[in-house]
Structure 1
Amino acid sequence: MAVKLLGSIFIPVSRLEASIEFYTNHLKLTCRGIEEWGDGQRGATLFVSNSPAGAAMITLAETKEPFMVSDRPWFNFSCSDATEMHRLLQAHGCRVTELVSWDSPWNRHWMFDLYDPDGHPINLIEMIPIDAPVV
């Protein structure tokens, strides 16, 4: 028996509908619907539209209890054209960090953090292989 893939990352949220709207409108994730988990608990699983069938990305878990918001991202999303994404998110009034670029021996990286309605930072990163032409 072995792990096959990451099933989902659970993110505590205070307002489920507002969080669904944020993740679907700004990150273009697909929500399969709100689930009732019993005892008044609700959640929603969101996917990247081109992910393999059944591969969950994140689950928004609504809670009425106080929860910790990390000052550092717990995960990142690989994206294309991070520069344009950064510009568009700023234009839509989203809270983002500065766009930064750095190189590793393998890739050129463009990245920034985006903050969801509860203040969770989400890292967005574009990685371009060093030997690829820069556009």
Structure 2
Amino acid sequence: MFTVGSIFIPVNNLEESIEWYQKVLNIHLLDRWESEEEKGAGFCFHKGDIQLGLIEVKSSDSTEFNIDDHQKNSYYNFKVGDIKAACHHLMNQDVKVTKIENFGGMKFFDFFDLHGHSFSVVEEVAGSPFHSDHIKRIQSTL
């Protein structure tokens, strides 16, 4: 019945952010909107159904939450097939990235947008209950 339709990112400057996200994430601009209440833009990725929206805000909220005093977690992550290539792509775009780490077989790193928002990038682990192939098998039985 429900699926994720869009993920929204708060940005301080919509024009700069549209250019940055298109360049860095290689996403396609679908549409822009502006009303008295809201100014934003919507994008699609080259694969998948989930869309990305940028909403201009006066003060930006965090894109992560605290697990404890020493650890944070992103609200969502970007999935890639080759984490090293993704990390190198971002570094070549002069994007600040953390080192690639391994957590129970899953590889991940974080990167930061032009407003300092933190996002995680993950590479799926074959055999994991969270791997897209496993999820598709489960979904076919639902």
What band does the TM-score fall into relative to the shorter chain? 0.7 to 0.9
Which structure shows the bigger proportion of residues in helix conformation? 2
Q: How far is the alpha carbon of 1:68 from its aligned partner?
A: 2.1
The 5 A counterparts of 1:65-76 are 65-71=58-64, 72-76=73-77
- Give 1:112 deviation, angstroms: 0.6
- State which of 15, 18, 24 in structure 2 corresponds to 1:20: 18
- How far does the alpha carbon of each residue in 1:23-67 deviate from its partner, in whole angstroms, 9 at most, with x for none? 22111121113212x10621111111122xxx342210012x213
Return the alpha-carbon distance in structure 2 between the equivalents of residues 31 and 115 of structure 1: 20
Name stretches of at least 5 consecutive residues in structure 2 with no aligned partner.
65-72, 129-142
Map 1:49-88 onto structure 2 (within 5 A): 49-51=46-48, 55-63=49-57, 65-71=58-64, 72-88=73-89
Aligned letter for 1:12? P
Superposition RMSD in Å: 2.0
Aligned mate of 2:40, from 26, 37, 43: 43
Q: Matched residue of 1:111: which SS?
A: strand
Give the residue type in structure 1 aligned to 2:42: T
When normalised by structure 1's length, the TM-score is 0.77
* Change beyond 3 A, Cα 1:48–1:70: closer
1:119 and 2:116 correspond: yes
- What SS does structure 2 have at the residue aligned with 1:33? strand
Deviating above 6 A after TM superposition, structure 1's stretches of 4 or more consecutive aligned residues are: none
Q: Retained in 2: the 8 A contact 1:46–1:56?
A: no
2:101 matched residue in structure 1: 100
Q: Which has the higher contact order (CA 8 A, sep 6+)?
A: 1
TM-score w.r.t. length of structure 2: 0.74
